Structure 1
Amino acid sequence: MAKAAVFLDRDGVINVDHGYVHDEHEFEFIDGVFEATKQLQQMGYLLVLVTNQAGIARGYYTEERFLSLTQWMDWNFIDNGVEFDGFYYCPHHPEHGLGKYKQQCDCRKPEPGMFNSAKEFLNIDMKNSIMVGDKAEDMMAAEAAGVGTKILVRTGKPVTDKGQSIATTVLDSIKEVPDYVKNMA
């Protein structure tokens, strides 16, 4: 039976967006992220990371460096009693990518490719799932993938009219998501 998931963008949702974050020393967790994700997991949601990583495409850091940072991030979540069910990332950029990373793809948000891959692999009920992102492209990708609830948070990029028009709601941070979800029921 399909399960609902909470899809999470990384920069601006899980960590402070310092621009192309690729080093543990630059990685600053958003206040309350561990408690919020733990509550969401206890509510029965799968946790799935969906992140564009144009820094790989632009040559700012390697895919290996990104994967090492992701493993370090995952260990921090595990140490706080939270286990992610999936990690999905897009290393491409259609204009600024270098070599094999310069391509138009279906995984770079606002395209829904990462969501669709997660749906198939993890058997996700998209209608009852939630996206937590900080920009319009996150909301657009979730909409295209059929995600039922789209939450825009103010801890990342400035909230735009476009993002707000697609989002189900706008919250100050991920810290507020569990209470919002409880009140949806």
Structure 2
Amino acid sequence: MMNKAIFLDKDGTLIPDIPYNVNPELIRLEKNVVDGLRKLESEGYLLVIISNQAGVAKGYFPEKALLQVETRLNSLLKSEDIKLSGFYYCPHYPGGGSTKYQSSCDCRKPKPGLLFRAAHELNIDLSRSWMIGDILNDVEAGHLAGCRSILIDNGNETEWIMTVDRVPDHKVSSVNEAAEKILNTFEIPKYEQRLEQL
């Protein structure tokens, strides 16, 4: 049987958003995430991070620095008896300074490439999975991959450019609240229902 997953944006969702930070000492879990992640994991969801990391393309830090970020996140979650099943990131940015990373890609959200890759590698049924993030690019990436999507409405989304794929299935204030919505959602919102919200 295929797995179901919760895809989590990293900065501003799982941890506080400190722009371009790769210093493990500054990484901590966001408030109101632990209980929700525990409940989701207990219901059989894999927990998978999906993160844009344009700092690599912009030359702010080397790609290998993300290894210590992954290690720190695994450690923080393990200390709460939570298992992280995957850490996927996009190092690309079209206007980046490094020619190696400035090419167009299918993995930078709102494109769904990282979710497709995770689904392939971790045997995930995207139709039974959710994307949680703090901006509408996260919502769109989830929907384009065939997931349902939740927006953590914490002020980090400032443009509010709406299309049908950018309409979240739920808007909440924390991952804990998102978990409650997920565990109490039995009907899959239809494309037409999102269209009506535009």
* TM-based fold match above 0.5: yes
What is the match of residue 26 of structure 1? 26
Query: Letter of the aligned partner of 2:2 in structure 1?
Result: A
RMSD: 1.7
Q: 1:134 to 1:97 in 2, by over 3 A?
A: farther
Shift of 1:125: 1.0
1:153–1:174 Cα contact (<8 Å) kept = yes
The SS at the match of 1:25 is helix
Aligned AA (1:158): E
Aligned partners of 1:163, 1:41: CA distance in 2, in Å? 31
5+ residue gaps in structure 2? 187-198
| CA positional deviation for 1:173 | 1.1
- Helix, strand or coil at the partner of 1:127: helix
Contact 1:7 1:132 (C-alpha < 8 Å) held by counterparts: yes
Question: TM-score if structure 2 supplies the norm length?
Answer: 0.87
Give the distance between the partners of 2:155 and 2:96, measured in 1 at CA.
Answer: 22
**Other-structure match for 1:161:** 160
Where 2:111 maps in the other structure, the secondary structure is coil
CA distance in 2, matches of 1:63, 1:166: 32
Q: What's the CA shift string for 1:113-148, capped at 9, x where partnerless?
A: 10000111111111111100111111111111111x
Which position in structure 2 is the counterpart of 1:93?
A: 93
Shift of 1:152: 0.2
Moved more, 131-140 or 159-168: 159-168
For the 8 Å contact 1:137–1:163, the answer to whether it is kept is no
Partner of 2:47: 47
Report the count of equivalent residues.
184
Tell me if the contact between 2:36 and 2:180 (Cα under 8 Å) persists in the aligned partners.
no
Aligned identity (percent) is 34
Contact 1:135 1:163 in 2 (8 A): no
What SS is found at the alignment partner of 1:108? coil
Deviates more, 1:80-89 or 1:155-164: 155-164
Counterparts of 2:118 and 2:87, CA distance in 1: 9
CA contact (8 A) 1:4 1:125 kept: yes
Q: How does 1:120-139 map to 2 (within 5 A)?
A: 120-139=120-139
- Map 1:52-63 to 2 at 5 A: 52-63=52-63
Higher Cα Rg, which structure: 2
User: What CA distance in whole angstroms lies between the structure 2 residues aligned with 1:160 and 1:176?
Assistant: 23
Cα deviation digits, residues 62-118 of structure 1 (max 9, x gap): 111111121111111011101111111001101124131111011111111100001
Change over 3 Å in CA distance of 1:129–1:163 after alignment to 2: farther
Q: How far, CA to CA, are the matches of 1:161 and 1:63 in structure 2?
A: 30
Deviation at 1:159? 5.6
